[in-house]
Amino acid sequence: MVKHNVAGANGGGYYGWGSPVFENCLFQKNFSERGIAGAMFLRSGRAVITNCTIVGNKTTRHTAGISTFNDSNIPAITNCLIWGNKAPNGDPEWNQLLMDKGTINHSVVQHWSGRYGGEGNFDADPRFVGPGRKNLRLAHDSPCIDAGTDDAVTEPYDLDGNPRILGQRVDIGAYENLCGDVLDLSVQFVEAAKDDGGGGGGGGGGGGRCVGKSDGDGLCEPGEDCCIAATVTINPATLPPGSTVRVTFTPLDENGDPLEPRTRRARIMDDGRGKATLPDCPAGRVTVCVEGCAETFCRDVECP
């Protein structure tokens, strides 16, 4: 990840030449104060940029996304997502991408005009999971899913460490969407283990220790501390052990409106299941979802 960098001149996130290779990279919220290219300035050479997400970068001049210096740089851009980069340039496409020579294929570019040619490029809302671009993973209905080309992929894992090419084709951007491999989500309450100071925890799964006040009988009863345990079942034929599925726990206020979600990772085991645990059960209702997937993979529960 290349995030929150500031450059006094060109290339807020990267400035260079030669033949660098970028794959499964995230360039986000980088800034060029007095130059061009908030994310990436390619001075010369033949850069290869594959399955990168370049979002939310800024500059005070032009081209907040990717810019080449002149026709001495010939980049090859494939399966990339270039969106929401801001510069005070009159040409909205140049705010995202400016190049004299090079190729771009199977990529999403905001305000895409077709001037750079290529195959499979388009302009469509990528439908990120997180509002305000806080989470740049793809929602289940993103047009970026299965829209890339497998021919450009050289790395077997995405930025989360999960396998590439899970669906019909590789997804566009740094993250592969896992929703097509999720089979089920179940949620249960788990009695907290007694905190004896030994660092143990009941409930298991991702998200931290499940410890607190309890009588140790294994039942989650009123007056005891309980945790929420979410079990995700996946298709083991396509998503191998060691993969991680993100689960969100969203408390609801007294009016039923969502509060700030809390995210935990469920690590998939040999049996095709992974568990994510919220160590404390907030009073009231909580919506538990497999992140980015359809509502069929959400469960509403009420903490005792």
Give 161-210 pLDDT, tens digit per residue: 999 999 899 999 999 999 999 999 999 888 766 665 544 444 445 555 66
Q: What percent of the chain has pLDDT over 90?
A: 66
Sign of the Cα pseudo-torsion (125, 127, 130, 131, in order): positive
The answer to whether the beta carbons of residues 120 and 147 sit under 8 Å apart is yes
pLDDT higher than 80, residue 239: yes
The predicted pLDDT at position 17 comes to 87
The predicted pLDDT at position 276 comes to 94
Task: Give the mean model confidence (pLDDT) for residues 128-150.
Answer: 91
Which tens digits make up the pLDDT trace of 17-33?
Answer: 889 999 999 999 999 99
pLDDT higher than 60, residue 106: yes
Which tens digits make up the pLDDT trace of 254-271?
Answer: 888 888 889 999 999 999
Considering only residues 280 and 75, tell me which one the structure prediction assigns the higher pLDDT: 75
The predicted pLDDT at position 270 comes to 95
The predicted pLDDT at position 201 comes to 41
* Average model confidence (pLDDT) across the chain: 88
pLDDT higher than 90, residue 282: no
The predicted pLDDT at position 198 comes to 46
The predicted pLDDT at position 43 comes to 87
Which tens digits make up the pLDDT trace of 202-235?
Answer: 444 555 566 666 566 666 766 667 788 999 999 9
Backbone phi, then psi, for 42, in 5-degree steps?
-105, 110
Considering only residues 95 and 254, tell me which one the structure prediction assigns the higher pLDDT: 95
Considering only residues 193 and 119, tell me which one the structure prediction assigns the higher pLDDT: 119
The answer to whether the beta carbons of residues 42 and 73 sit under 8 Å apart is yes
The predicted pLDDT at position 193 comes to 66
Task: Give the mean model confidence (pLDDT) for residues 67-71.
Answer: 82
Q: How confident is the model at residue 90 (pLDDT cuts 50, 70, 90)?
A: confident
